[in-house]
Amino acid sequence: MTPASIMNATSAGKATRAMSLLTLIGQITISTITLPNHARAADANNANVMAVTVTRAQLHRWSETIPASGAIAPREAIEVSARLTGVPIVKLSANVGDHVKRGQTLGRFDARKIIASLHQAEAQSAQAEAVLRQSKVNAERARGLKEIGAISDQDLLQAETQYQIALAGKKSAEATLTTARIAESDTRIVAPASGIISARNAMPGQVPMPGAALFSIIGGGLLEWRAELTAAQMMKTEPGMSVILQLPDGSKASGKVRQSAPSLDPVSRLGIVYIDLDVGSNVKAAMYLKGDIDVGSSSALTLPSEGVLLRDGRSIVYRIVNGAAQRTVVRTGRRQQQWVEILDGLQAGDEVIVRGAGFLTDGEPVRLVQAEELSTPGQHP
């Protein structure tokens, strides 16, 4: 090989190596440019996936209450009525709000004529007693005389008849006296039981009709709440259950279930549950209040209310299945604060999307993140 050919071969080899090096550099450059583009595309796709958080359906022990409304009424309403006819009231010594005792005088009728009639009845009774004693003596004497044949049978019969007439006269006089005494007693308007006067219809000088209500008394000052419940709710109540009422001023009153009505209203289909209110409760008769009856506690499958949505009139939740949101219809029950009871559609331990659920559609891809990564529900990072 000549020196010239050797030099040509050497130059060709260098040229070939140079071309290979340039090709390698170009490939590396292209790869360097292409890889970030793929990564950026993947990041862009990931950024378009909804970020969500999940929670598990959990069993909790919930105290169960029945909300209700109803009127406040006296546990025992007592009417004090007029018992006299045509007699005016001359004095009243009690008013609305007064605490009264059984037998306490609340007022008086004009008793002058009645007292005069009483004195007359007493005199007639005394006279009838005297006539009876005399006729009894005469009858006994007639029997003795008849035994010795001193008088006839007719005379004896007459004496005994006079005695029977006198006996009947005495009984009649006693009845008249009793009636007069009752009338005299009725001139006093008396409280038939202890309690609080809730109404006073009587006025001095008034001549009330017989049976007219003069006073109304709340027996013992005790009130009750008559809660209106459905049949299903009534079946959950029992005597002794605790009750809390909300008063108009924001305060509360408490009581206990006493009994339930034996029947429902044929129109409203509601029944009454009677609740005895604690003494000292700041409630007034005729108030219409809302309250809650504590019927005990029960196990409840619960979710945060944020994860339970209303769509087309149905309650739904979203679960994650193969990286996508799956819509699940559920049946809800009670609500307590931020929790919702799930009656059907889920089991304890099922994972449900919470934050971000309101922005999802069925089958939409989702990305699970920690709660602190989201500043607002459904926000994309």
Backbone angles phi, psi at 375, to 5 degrees: -90, -30
pLDDT band at 13 (very low <50, low <70, confident <90, very high): very low
Q: What is the pLDDT of residue 28?
A: 40
pLDDT at 309 over 50: yes
State the Cα–Cα distance between residues 201 and 199, nearest whole angstrom.
6
Q: Assign domain 77-216 to a CATH class.
A: mainly alpha
CATH architecture of residue range(s) 50-62+299-373: Beta Barrel (2.40)
Q: Do domains 50-62+299-373 and 67-75+222-297 have the same CATH topology?
A: no
Task: Determine if the pTM surpasses 0.85.
Answer: no
State the Cα–Cα distance between residues 225 and 283, nearest whole angstrom.
10
Task: Return the closest-CA partner of residue 343 out of 308, 319, 380, 291.
Answer: 308
pLDDT band at 79 (very low <50, low <70, confident <90, very high): very high
pLDDT at 32 over 60: no
Three-class HEC string of the chain: CCHHHHHHHHHHHHHHHHHHHHHHHHHHHHHHHHHHHHHHHHHHHHHCCEEECEEECEEEEEEEEEEEEEEEEECCEEEEECCCCCCCEEEECCCCCCEECCCCEEEEECCHHHHHHHHHHHHHHHHHHHHHHHHHHHHHHHHHHHHCCCCCHHHHHHHHHHHHHHHHHHHHHHHHHHHHHHHHHHCEEECCCCEEEEEECCCCCCCCCCCCEEEEEEECCCEEEEEEECHHHHCCCCCCCEEEEECCCCCEEEEEEEEECCCCCCCCCCEEEEEEECCCCCCCCCCEEEEEEEEEEEEEEEEEHHHCEEECCEEEEEEEECCEEEEEEEEEEEEECCEEEEEECCCCCCEEECCCHHHCCCCCEEEECCHHHCCCCCCCC
The first and second tokens of residue 18, run together, are 């140079």
**Could you tell me which residue, 37 or 192, shows the higher pLDDT?**
192
Q: What is the pLDDT of residue 370?
A: 66
pLDDT band at 49 (very low <50, low <70, confident <90, very high): confident
**Which of 67-76, 301-310, 369-378 is least confident?**
369-378
pLDDT at 154 over 60: yes
Sign of the torsion angle spanned by Cα atoms 28, 30, 36, 39: negative
> What is the arithmetic mean of pLDDT over 138-167?
92
Q: What is the pLDDT of residue 308?
A: 92
Query: Domain coordinates of the chain in residue numbers?
Result: 50-62+299-373, 67-75+222-297, 77-216
Q: Assign domain 67-75+222-297 to a CATH class.
A: mainly beta
Average pLDDT, the chain: 85
pLDDT at 160 over 50: yes
**Could you tell me which residue, 28 or 64, shows the higher pLDDT?**
64
What are the pLDDT digits (tens) for 245-292?
999 999 999 999 999 999 999 999 999 999 999 988 889 999 999 999
Backbone angles phi, psi at 269, to 5 degrees: 60, 30
